[in-house]
Amino acid sequence: MGSEKPIVYSNAQLIDPGTKLNTKGGLITQGDKIVDLGEHLYQSGFPEDAYVIDCKNNILAPGLIDIHVHLREPGHEHKETIKTGGESAAAGGVTTVCCMPNTDPVIDNVALIEFIQRRAREAKGVKVFPFAAVTKGLKGEQLTEMGMLSEAGAIAFTDDGLPVTDSQVMRRALAYAKSFGAIVSQHAEDLSLTSCGCMAEGPVATKLGLPGIPDASEVVMIERDIRLVEITGGRYHVAHISTEEGVAAVRKAKEQGLDVSCEAAPHHFTLTDDDVGNYRTFAKMAPPLRNEKNRRAIVDGLRDGTIDAIATDHAPHDQESKRVPMQHAANGVVGLETLLPLTLDLVNKGELTLIDALSRITSSPANLLDLENGHLRKNGPADLVLFDPNAEWTVKLENLYSKSKNTPFEGKLMRGQVIRTVVDGRTVFEREA
């Protein structure tokens, strides 16, 4: 719980994508709730005993929600922990993260769900909602006790890091999860097509002499799963979508009225396979960076609403896992602290409106997973981010809060910087002036 003394955020540009609110005004919190907000609080109406924070005309929005984060705990705490991942999230303005279950041991039982929840409470930082595994041990064979896991607090289900390759298992998962309204998220990849590939198939891979991964490896799995959604009526989500064909398949499924959604990672609408450069392992990820046509398709999908959310797929790795030959390097990049500026870059380039861009990291993922946060409303959670959309800063590895430093954006000039992050009325991050 936050302090019971009222806190006033004055002189703010209030933006709530869920209601299209965009106005000068103020906001009052008390404890862990928003008491009041709006234009009428711009100059007056503050409680006499309130603590006042002058927002200096910067943007005050709902705290960001990242629905695809690897916190590495339990089992790989040398790469990240719930505490350090939470600190990285807070520095990026993210107040809610959904952590993936491909830990060691795998989050496939109630005890592990409770462990994640307990560790998050102990960290006293951002909110952490665990995804649970679809299959026991991520082996793709036997379904987990999805109903019990959901009751214990699992917010959705995925074998992320691996696809559910068996069609019958996936069909049963979708049908089972539907009975209690849960989403099944798929790491869409046909492993037989991926084979030993370590970057996207194409001229760049050929030039570097590296085995490639065809675009078809993603859409083949998505189209199979959509057929299973037609059979079961289940809720289906595509994680880190990265191809033009994949976006088109999801768009068609939505037009058919199927309960299908997807997310895209900032690196897939910001970078291309050209950014692999001279064997840059910090740009190796799964799915891989693809060509400009695919990058453009991700932007188009975000613009027309086919892509519901932007999620980082924050995947921390130690130096020993990355500073090796390309084919042996681990997949993944850290992304929590660059989520906001890379999303705002879509606005700066005129590709999305500010409201639409922010909706993909606030209200839309909240609505997708039935979370009560992600909005600015009276009596709602006091989860907030205050940021300067014009502040410029350079990504430096030594300044990242994440325990791991594997970012492909080192040295890149970013525009848009978090000033303050608030969870349940408590300031969990404040940038030094």
Catalytic residues, by residue number, are: 313
Nearest to 113 by CA among 141, 67, 74: 74
Task: Please count the residues of the chain.
Answer: 433
The span from the CA of 52 to the CA of 384, in Å, is 15
CB neighbours of residue 233 within 10 Å: 11
Residue written as token pair 């009596």: 379
Dist CA 119 CA 154 (whole Å): 15
Buried b (16+ CB within 10 A) or exposed e, 104-121: eebbbbbebbebbbebbe
Burial of 432 (0-12, 13-18, 19+ CB in 10 A): exposed
Q: Report the SS3 class of residue 45.
A: coil
Cross-strand bridge partners of residue 262: 238
236 touches 226 (CB < 8 A):
yes
Nearest partner of 21 among 362, 396, 365, judged by Cα: 362
Mapping DSSP onto H, E and C, the string for 116-182 reads HHHHHHHHCCCEEEEEECCEHHHCCCCECCHHHHHHHCCCEEECCCCCCCCHHHHHHHHHHHHCCCC
Q: Could you tell me the CA-to-CA distances from 45 to 9, 10, 28, 50, 113 in Å, in that order?
A: 12, 10, 10, 11, 43
Ramachandran region, residue 209 (left: φ > 0; alpha: ψ -120 to 50; beta: rest): left
Query: Do residues 69 and 369 make contact, with C-beta atoms less than 8 angstroms apart?
Result: no
